[in-house]
Amino acid sequence: MKTIDLTSLQVITESDIADLPREAGTEVVLAERAIITPSAREALAARGIATRTPGSSGSTAGAYGAVAGAVSGVEPARLALFTSQEAQKIKEEICAVGRKLWMRQYVDGNGGNISYRVGPNEVICTPTLISKSDLKPEDMCLVDLEGRQLAGGRPRTSEILLHLEIYKEVPEAKSVVHCHPPHATAYAITGKVPPTCVIPEYEVFIGKVAISPYETPGSSTFARTVIPYVKTHNTVLLANHGIVCWGDTVTHAEWYVEVVDTYCWTLMLAAQLGTPLSHISETKAADLLAIKKQLGLPDPRHDNPECAVCDLPEKPGEIAIDQKSVVSERDALIQKITDEVMAALGKK
C-alpha cells in the first residue's frame, strides 16, 4: 500500500486529491483536525482511497474527525456554513470582484483584501500572498470576529483585523473591500480629501470621505484607526496606504471603490484645465443627500444641521497644484535662462 502524507494541510480539497497518484491501495495520512471538503470526500470515495490520522490504522474516511473535523475545534455548524451553497456563491462573488479590482489596476502584486460576513461571528475572507486576479473559491478562509482562522487551506489575509473592526462597529456592513486605487490613494498620501458637491453620483454613493491616521498595516492599532469614521462613512482614505469601503454586498463595496477613484481622477483632470470647479448648489445637493438617506447609505451630514452640505470654497491647491502658479514659475525660468544666454552671447 502506498502511503501519502498530507498532515501539513488543514483543509483537503478536491484539487489535493486530484494530485494523488492513481495507484490501487493508496492511503492518505491526515492531520488530526483536518477538514475534508464535500467534493474531496467524493473524489476519495470514487478512487477508493483510504484515510487515517497519524498513529491510527485503517480508514477514517467515514469518521467525523476526517469528514467534518474542525481547525482549532470549530463547531460542525461553522463547517457546514463554510461549505454551504450560500458560502459558495459568496466565494465566487469575491473571486469575480478580485478580478475586477486587478483589471482596474486597483491592486498590484498580492495587494488588497476582500471579506463577507456570512454569520453572526463568521467572516469569509481572501487569503494572504495571492493576486486578486488568481483567486479561486477554494482559496477562501473562514475567520471569527477576533481574527482566528477557523477553516481554509491558505492563511487568511494579514489585514483582516481592519475588516473585523468595521463589522463590529457597523452591524449593517456585510462586505468590506480594501485596495489601493491610484487616484484615491494619491489623496490619501497627501492628507487631503476630495471636495463635495461636484458630481451627483459621487454625492449619492460616497459623499464626504474621512481620512484615518497612518499605522502599520496588519496591526490591531491600524485596524482601530477607522473606528471613529465607519459609522458615518462607507469609504475611508487610509493615510499613506489606500482606501477601505464597506457595503451590503461584495459587489456594492467594490462599486464604491470605482466611484471614489473615478471621482478623484476626474478632479485631477479638471485641475489641469486651470479653471475653478463649478459646484452643485446647496439646495440641489440637499436633494441628492435626501436620495442617499433613502438608500440607507451613511453620511455625516444626515440629521446634522451644523454640518455643511457642501465644502465651499475649496482652498487653493486643494485638488492639485495651482496651474497659474506653475505657468508663471515656468515663464520666469524661461526668461532667466534666455537672459543668461543672451548675456553670454554679448560677451563674445
| Residues tagged active-site | 159
In order of 187, 280, 320, the CA distances from 191 in angstroms are: 6, 24, 12
In 3D, which of 61, 57, 39 has the Cα closest to residue 49? 61
Let me know: does 38 contact 83? Beta carbons within 8 Å: yes
**In angstroms, rounded to a whole number, what is the distance separating the alpha carbons of residues 41 and 79?**
14
In 3D, which of 74, 173, 169 has the Cα closest to residue 115? 173
The C-alpha angle 161, 164, 170, rounded to 5 degrees, equals 145
CA dihedral 23, 34, 89, 160 (to 10 degrees): -130
User: SS3 for 88?
Assistant: helix
**In angstroms, rounded to a whole number, what is the distance separating the alpha carbons of residues 112 and 71?**
25
In order of 195, 198, 248, 285, the CA distances from 278 in angstroms are: 11, 7, 32, 13
Tell me the backbone φ, ψ of residue 168, rounded to 5 degrees: -70, -40
